[in-house]
Structure 1
Amino acid sequence: MSTYKEIHLVKRPHDGKIGPHLFEQKTLPIPTPGEGEILIKQTYMSLDPAMLGWMSEDRESYIPPVELGEVMRSSGVGEVVASNHADFSVGDKVMGMTGWREYVVSDGSGFNKLQDGVTEEMALCVFALPGLTATTGLYNFGEPKEGETLIVTGAAGSVGSIVGQLAKADGLRVIGVVGSDEKADWIVNELGFDGAINYKTDDLEEKLKTLTPDKIDVFFENTGGPIQQHIFNRMNTHGRIVVCGMIADYQSDNPAPGPNWIPLIKKRINIRGFAMPDHWGEVPKLLQKLTPYVQQGKIKYRAHTIEGLDNAEEGLNMLFNGENKGKMMVKL
């Protein structure tokens, strides 16, 4: 009998650290789809910083946690290898919530077929959570206008790189904050950003002044960290701050304090936190907005791919120590 592997969450990361003690791998017989169901062989699985939150016990977050004993949550792409569903055929490439497993049986709910010409890597890098998140945050809350200045932290990451490219295509001055000279070179010379700040080595205040002579109108926050205060102090009147992630604080016992609220009043700054589950109903509209940029060659991406489900935990840790170069995913 043919078997497959899946990984279950069995403990909470109480110390904020991700390790093998949190997971249990199981080997099971490959299932057979029932009436109205499909069997999907997962080929690429997404790894995202939000997974740390999904593992926690927090019941007040934007999405319920993964329960202990359940398959770890993730999105992915795969191929339909057996079908008893009228809308799906063997050989269809699909994308949806797959989990940390090699095969998944589904009734088709939440799975969408990949369009012709869209590879598995492109689907996860652009048309899945990264592109949807970037498009939602930038246009729903950032309200970018031609000629303005936008700064994005985590600029070489899957979301930040798309935010910057969209803004650049719309005629904004775009500055990215990254954690290495290699990433700085990539966003400037490959993606077309107007400048980059290496938060690990640059004089943050001076570099920020040099790169934002007209100060900052839109701040797309993905990371937190010390540069947050410097950016906040450079905001223009009626600026917009979009808070998407705070990866620098996710594993911290004492998250950094936020900015003083008095400048918010003086400058009438709008701050908005958001999470994609509130916007699933907008996905068709978001894709309609994003797709033309991709078709016109205005969105580049890169994937950081590791091999094998066994290495998913290692890949997830790479997101938090900054070792990844591009969208983190597992090839199964």
Structure 2
Amino acid sequence: MTDYTRILLTARPDKRGIGDYLFTRERVAIPSPAEGEILVKQTHMSLDPAMLGWMSPDTESYIPPVQLGEVMRSSGAGEVVESNHPNFNVGDRVMGMMGWTEYAVSNGKGLNKIQDSISTEMALCIFALPGLTATQGYLNVGKPKAGETLVVTGAASSVGSIVGQMAKADGLRVIGVVGSDEKAKWIVEELGFDGAINYKSDDLADKLAALTPDKIDIFFENTGGPIQQLIYQRMNTHGRIVVCGMIADYLSATPAPGPNWINMIKKRLTIQGFAMPDHFHEVPKLLGQLTPYVMQGKIKYRAHTIEGLDQAVNGLQMLFNGDNQGKMLVKL
């Protein structure tokens, strides 16, 4: 084979949401790496909620948007098939930002080697952005203490599930908000959460009150939506709210209004948003914080893997509809 497929972003999202109209597929010749470069054959591609922001024209976000006509941005993992770089050998498995493409040329910047003892799936589900994001938000922003109560929305997601498991390992009471009974069962029976709320079917106020008798010390916000206000109102004095994502509002023409600030004053709450590009220089530190939980068997994961680059758009639709069961991956 002398050519390969890549997918370009060629339109901005509109009221139609995520769909094929945003992208153009093209076949191009497989490139040869120059001096100091490597050629990577991508084997697994990650689909993440942040992609919608990357597709938007917003120039004030934490990362510049993907320009129209460029390969759609994504992280992934693959194998080095040709190397003119002293630090990478043919056969090395690497992960990093590669895009919606079967092959990628890189100078090695931003790519990390995957240890032989770790599967590619595990690397992307835990040690890539999901685990790094969970670690930064939970430990370094949330500042947890044993005995506290943590509520995490998007609790069955790649980030939310790791946050909850780390908190359980640290002796916190953990309540997860999910979008299906299957996900509720998984986080309680498999991951050890103390309780789950199905935001689509439960009486949110009553269920939240029943599951948080000592109210809430840490709120890890991944989704937004109506339960946000209820969680905010049950925060304890000096509680911390970690704002990681707002997927419920990403496709909304009119985002939901935020909480009133009176409770912030009364309870002396700390509310902090964060984005991982600010912390990429701290990756070694974050991995050092995360790895002990993994080595002690405290972190489980599951991947929802679909086959083929052409299925990337369908996978992204599943992610935003909440139809995925685990970290959304595309196997190439």
The reply to whether TM is greater than 0.5 is yes
Q: 1:111-138 CA deviation, whole Å, 9 max, x = no partner?
A: 1100121111111100111000000001
| Residue 264, structure 1, aligned to residue 253, structure 2 | no
Match of 2:276 in 1: 276
Cross-structure match for 2:114: 114
CA distance in 2, matches of 1:285, 1:218: 22
* Counterpart residue identity of residue 271, structure 2: I
Q: Does structure 2 retain, via aligned residues, the 8 Å contact 1:149–1:218?
A: yes
Structure 1 unaligned runs (5+)? Answer: none
Aligned counterpart, 1:308: 308
Equivalents in 2 of 1:16, 1:191: separation in Å? 36
Confirm or deny that 1:22 pairs with 2:22. Answer: yes
SS at match of 1:51: helix
What is the alpha-carbon distance in structure 1 between the residues aligned to residue 268 and residue 35 of structure 2? 57
Looking at structure 1, the residues matched to 266 and 15 of structure 2 have their Cα atoms a distance apart, in angstroms, of 39
Corresponding residue of 1:328? 328
| Partners of 1:302 and 1:122 in 2: CA distance | 9
Could you tell me how far apart the structure 2 residues matched to 1:113 and 1:16 are? 39
Post-superposition offset of 1:217: 0.2
C-alpha distance in structure 2 between counterparts of 1:192 and 1:229, whole Å: 26
The aligned counterpart of 1:82 is 82
User: What runs of 5+ residues in structure 2 fail to find an aligned partner?
Assistant: none
SS in 2 for 1:249: helix
Amino acid at match of 1:242: V
Q: Is the 8 A contact 1:16 1:251 kept in 2?
A: no
Structure 1 ranges of 4+ moved more than 6 A: none
Partner SS for 2:126? helix
Q: Given the alignment of the two structures, is residue 166 of structure 1 paired with residue 166 of structure 2, yes or no?
A: yes
Deviates more, 1:12-21 or 1:2-11: 12-21
Amino acid across the alignment from 1:309: L
Q: CA deviation at 1:18?
A: 1.1
Given the two structures, how large is their TM-score scaled by the length of structure 2? Answer: 0.99
Q: 1:264 to 1:16 in 2, by over 3 A?
A: farther
Checking the alignment, whether the CA contact within 8 Å between 1:16 and 1:252 is kept in structure 2 is no
Pick which of 9-18 and 262-271 moved more: 9-18
- Aligned CA distance change for structure 1 residues 278 and 16 (closer, same or farther; 3 Å): farther
- Map 1:100-249 → 2, pairs under 5 A: 100-249=100-249
Aligned residue for 1:155, secondary structure, equals coil
Separation of aligned partners in 1, 2:177 and 2:198: 6
Query: How far did 1:16 drift?
Result: 6.4
| 1:82 match: secondary structure | strand
SS at match of 2:197: strand
Deviation of 1:280 after TM superposition, in Å, equals 0.6
When the two chains are superposed, the root-mean-square deviation of aligned CA atoms in Å is: 0.8
Distance 1:143 1:16 in 2: 40
Contact 1:95 1:111 in 2 (8 A): yes
CA deviation profile, 1:166-211 (whole Å, cap 9, x unmatched): 0100000000000001000000000000000001111111111111
Query: 2:33 maps to which residue?
Result: 33
Is the 1:150–1:220 contact (alpha carbons within 8 Å) kept by the matching residues of 2?
A: yes
Distance 1:319 1:30 in 2: 30
Residue 15 of structure 1, CA deviation: 2.5
Q: Percent identity?
A: 75
Amino acid aligned to 2:80: V
CA distance in 2, matches of 1:174, 1:23: 40
**1:16 touches 1:250 (CA, 8 Å); kept in 2?**
no
Distance 1:16 1:49 in 2: 17
